[in-house]
Amino acid sequence: MGPVLGQSVGSYRDRAPPAALRRHFARTWIHRLPARLSRPVAIVPDGCIDLQWIDGGLRVAGPDREAKVESIPAGATVIGLRFQPASAMAWLHAPASEIVDARPPLEAFWGGEARRLADWAGEARTAEGVANRLEAALARKAVNIDAPDRASHSIFRLISANRQPNTRIVNHLNDLLGLSERTLRRRCHEAFGYGPKTLDRILRFQRFLRLARIGNPTGAAELAAEAGYSDQSHMIRETRRLAGLTPTAIVNQVCG
């Protein structure tokens, strides 16, 4: 039996962060795992970077290239703030390429400040209280953090909107943004951890997941076309590569 997708187990909910954080963070989320886990939990690539509070400590969840099986204890609660596209670099003072497939402690970037923040947030009595404390501290820090790079943000937006499976994504972005191939690749590695082709594959897979969750379209061929795959076989190859599961297994999990 294969792994279970992270958001398909336990209780997951998210919301918009406070206004003071919205140019830097896209969502605040709380994920409570069940007291018993019969299968490993797999976190699939999403092209994003998260700041996470778990077991009293803070860590950074770097951008993944393939499904990552997490060793999170059963019954644990994970609280996260998801960076806006291209925002993490200014907060961490490091390119995203340095944390690909990694979960480094925030202390590696912020030193003692990270320990103090984790301790203070952990004094809250509820998960919502921890989230509120994290948001308050980050809002104070945000006044000294630069806004996300506009070009990198545009790269993410344009790739996310692309639904043409045979598009040469580098040429497509060059035509729209006027960036050389070398500059485009450098910006992608700095902001997202990998090149535009990998980001395109991951964001297409995330589009597939969103369509699977709402149950429309219902047929496999229609689902592949709407997500932006060239055909059903393309979708099967990519879901196996990025999640280790077939499209059918994924749909059963997210709709079960």
* Residue type present at position 172: H
Please give the structure tokens belonging to residue 105. Answer: 């402690």
- pLDDT of amino acid 162: 81
Residues 53 and 175 in one domain: no
Distance CA 192, CA 87 (A): 9
Residues 86 and 187 in one domain: no
- pLDDT of amino acid 148: 84
| Whether 71 contacts 43, CB under 8 Å | no
Domain boundary among 78, 112, 142: 142
Residues 59 and 22 in one domain: yes
CATH of the domain at 192: 1.10.10.60
Distance CA 152, CA 47 (A): 13
Tokens 């925030």 -> residue: 106
Residues 27 and 69 in one domain: yes
Domain boundary among 96, 122, 142: 142
Give 215: exposed, middle or buried? Use CB within 10 Å, 0-12, 13-18, 19+. exposed
* Domain total of the chain: 2
Give 244: exposed, middle or buried? Use CB within 10 Å, 0-12, 13-18, 19+. middle
| Whether 226 contacts 241, CB under 8 Å | no
CA gyration radius, the chain: 18
Residues 198 and 78 in one domain: no
Work out the angle between the directed axes of helices 196-214 and 232-243 (0-180°, nearest 10): 100
197 lies in which domain range?
A: 150-255
Q: Is the pLDDT of residue 238 over 80?
A: yes
Residues 131 and 21 in one domain: yes
- pLDDT of amino acid 256: 64
Q: What tens digit of pLDDT does each residue of 20-73 get?
A: 999 999 999 999 988 887 677 889 999 999 999 998 999 999 999 999 888 788
Q: Is the pLDDT of residue 217 over 70?
A: no
Q: Which residues does 64 contact at the CB level (< 8 Å), separation at least 6?
A: 43, 44, 45, 46, 100, 101
- pLDDT of amino acid 1: 59
Q: What tens digit of pLDDT does each residue of 154-190 get?
A: 999 999 988 787 778 998 898 899 989 999 999 999 9
When pLDDT is averaged across residues 5-16 and rounded to a whole number, the result is 87
Residues 78 and 112 in one domain: yes
Q: Is the pLDDT of residue 128 over 90?
A: yes
Helix extents (H) in the chain = 88-92, 107-110, 112-122, 127-142, 150-161, 169-177, 181-192, 196-214, 220-227, 232-243, 247-255
Domain boundary among 142, 163, 187: 142
Q: Is the pLDDT of residue 3 over 80?
A: no
Residues 154 and 103 in one domain: no
When pLDDT is averaged across residues 211-224 and rounded to a whole number, the result is 82
Residues 135 and 162 in one domain: no
Residues 26 and 135 in one domain: yes
Q: What tens digit of pLDDT does each residue of 66-124 get?
A: 998 887 888 889 999 999 999 999 999 999 999 999 999 999 999 999 999 999 999 99
Residues 232 and 183 in one domain: yes
Residues 168 and 126 in one domain: no
| Whether 80 contacts 58, CB under 8 Å | no
- pLDDT of amino acid 73: 82
